[in-house]
């Protein structure tokens, strides 16, 4: 027997998250690229603002069908092969962007990238939740958002200095790195047990746990998989069983809290927002500062989350987000619709957005993906991840398109007021309906869901 170590859990998570890193690059690609495409002299290919808004949401539309593909193949071919498969559309989409000569090609490339998004965000939270020890599951789960935002930072920096084609070719390297590194990592022990490959599950557990005495753990997983897979799951099982219903409600609440605060629209239009805010600082510098802090604060959350728990960070995040967004909306209203001289306050948009990104990324950004991987039994986990991704794509698409429409029709202030109100409303739902999952095994979490609670029991859950 040797000293336990989590080395393989960290290594496997790091290599798997190269696909999320690539997804973050695609997601934020419009921020440095749209200003080039919509200006009159920055790019040989020119598009209108409306065409740009449709190109943006293409990557939010295609994950809706592709996540069903992810839910199907994750149990058929396994978590590992599904993650490797996501590299192919990502790679091809970067090549399409690099050599695009029309807005249709760019839209098609974004659609193709969305196929990988659907697969990756269905499989990755599930895979990490299954391989991670309960004591570090919050850290590894929050690393999904850290990787996502790191990709956003990378594309904003590189895309600001290089052409669209050169940037796309550089980004195409990352899907290749995913294949070259992750191919050597173990499959999820849960999946191997589901496929009755006990010996490979035993080997994988020894690697992930960093010790040889894993028979008790293996027996626990076998019993859990047997209990949770007594019959094949259907889509309707997500909606019929009490524990799954409760899980879906929680996922919908935290996804609403995340997306209705406007994070997708702000990510897509960061450079444009700072362009309209004033000349206190250059839009590019402000954007890089914004995304850098976003990345740093998500990393801070990944460290704190297993100590403080999910609920306190999520609640604090929504309170701060509502305040920051309200301040930002007020600034734009005064600037565009009054005669008040605010030249002495042109630093407010930067401070408000930095305040938003600091507090939002301490909880509301990373926690929904983490919770998504914790709440469901193995027989419906893939379907639940699929539902969460579909719901995310619908909400993010609507919010992003609505942002562009409201901004163009009424002014920049109205979307931010709307985001502030939504953050406040979703805060109430989080306080009363989202339980704490810190430090619990996946089986313990299942045991607490769907149980009819007395008032005292509900108070206990909320207080946890």
Q: What pLDDT was estimated at residue 463?
A: 40
pTM for the model: 0.76
**Residues 6 or more apart whose Cβ sits within 8 Å of residue 231:** 379
Tell me the CATH number for domain 7-185+231-463: 1.20.1250.20
Structure confidence by residue, pLDDT tens digits, 91-130: 999 999 999 888 899 999 999 999 999 899 889 988 998 8
Q: With pLDDT > 70 as the criterion, what percentage of the chain qualifies?
A: 92
Q: What pLDDT was estimated at residue 41?
A: 60
Q: What pLDDT was estimated at residue 70?
A: 86
Q: What pLDDT was estimated at residue 331?
A: 92
Structure confidence by residue, pLDDT tens digits, 21-47: 999 999 889 888 888 887 766 567 778
Q: Which residues of 153-183 are buried (b: 16+ CB within 10 A; e: fewer)?
A: bbbbbbbbeeebeebbbbbbebbeebbeebe
Structure confidence by residue, pLDDT tens digits, 397-441: 888 888 888 888 898 899 999 999 999 999 999 999 998 888 887
What residue segments make up the domains of the chain, in order of their start? 7-185+231-463
């Amino acid at each position: 027997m040797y000293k336990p170590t989590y080395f393989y859990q960290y290594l496997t998570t790091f290599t798997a998250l190269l696909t999320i890193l690539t997804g973050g690059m695609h997601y934020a690609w419009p921020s440095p690229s749209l200003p080039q495409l919509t200006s009159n002299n920055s790019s040989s290919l020119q598009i209108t603002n409306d065409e740009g808004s449709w190109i943006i949401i293409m990557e939010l539309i295609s994950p809706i069908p592709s996540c069903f593909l992810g839910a199907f193949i994750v149990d058929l071919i396994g978590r590992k092969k599904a993650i490797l498969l996501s590299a192919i559309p990502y790679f091809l989409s970067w090549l399409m962007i690099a050599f695009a000569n029309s807005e249709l090609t760019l839209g098609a490339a974004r659609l193709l990238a969305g196929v990988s998004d659907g697969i990756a965000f269905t499989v990755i939270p599930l895979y990490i939740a299954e391989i991670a020890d309960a004591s570090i599951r919050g850290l590894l789960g929050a690393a999904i958002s850290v990787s996502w935002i790191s990709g956003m930072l990378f594309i904003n920096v590189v895309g600001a200095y290089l052409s669209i084609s050169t940037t796309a070719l550089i980004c195409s390297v990352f899907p290749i790195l995913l294949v070259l590194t992750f191919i050597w990592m173990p499959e999820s022990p849960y999946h191997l047990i589901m496929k009755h490959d006990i010996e490979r599950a035993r080997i994988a557990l020894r690697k992930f746990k960093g010790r040889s005495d894993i028979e008790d753990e293996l027996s626990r997983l076998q019993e859990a998989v047997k209990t949770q897979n007594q019959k094949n799951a259907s889509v309707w099982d997500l909606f019929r069983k009490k524990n799954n219903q409760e899980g879906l409600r929680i996922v919908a609440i935290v996804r609403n809290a995340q997306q209705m605060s406007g994070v997708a629209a702000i990510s897509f239009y960061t450079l444009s927002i700072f362009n309209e805010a004033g000349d206190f600082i250059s839009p590019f510098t402000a954007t890089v500062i914004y995304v850098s802090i976003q990345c740093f604060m998500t990393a801070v959350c990944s460290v704190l989350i297993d100590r403080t728990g999910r609920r306190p960070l999520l609640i604090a995040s929504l309170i701060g987000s509502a305040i920051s967004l309200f301040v930002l909306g007020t600034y734009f209203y005064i600037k565009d619709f009054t005669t008040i001289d605010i030249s002495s306050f042109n630093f407010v948009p930067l401070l408000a957005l930095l305040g938003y990104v600091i507090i939002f990324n301490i909880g509301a950004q990373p926690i929904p993906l983490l919770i998504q991987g914790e709440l469901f039994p193995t027989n419906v986990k893939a379907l639940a991840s699929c539902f969460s991704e579909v719901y995310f794509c619908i909400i993010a698409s609507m919010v992003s398109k609505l942002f562009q429409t409201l901004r163009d029709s009424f002014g920049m202030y109205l979307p931010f007021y709307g985001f502030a109100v939504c953050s406040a409303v979703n805060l109430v739902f989080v306080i009363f309906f989202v339980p704490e999952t810190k430090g619990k095994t996946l089986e313990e979490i299942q045991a607490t869901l769907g149980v009819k609670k007395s008032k005292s029991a509900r108070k206990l859950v909320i207080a946890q």
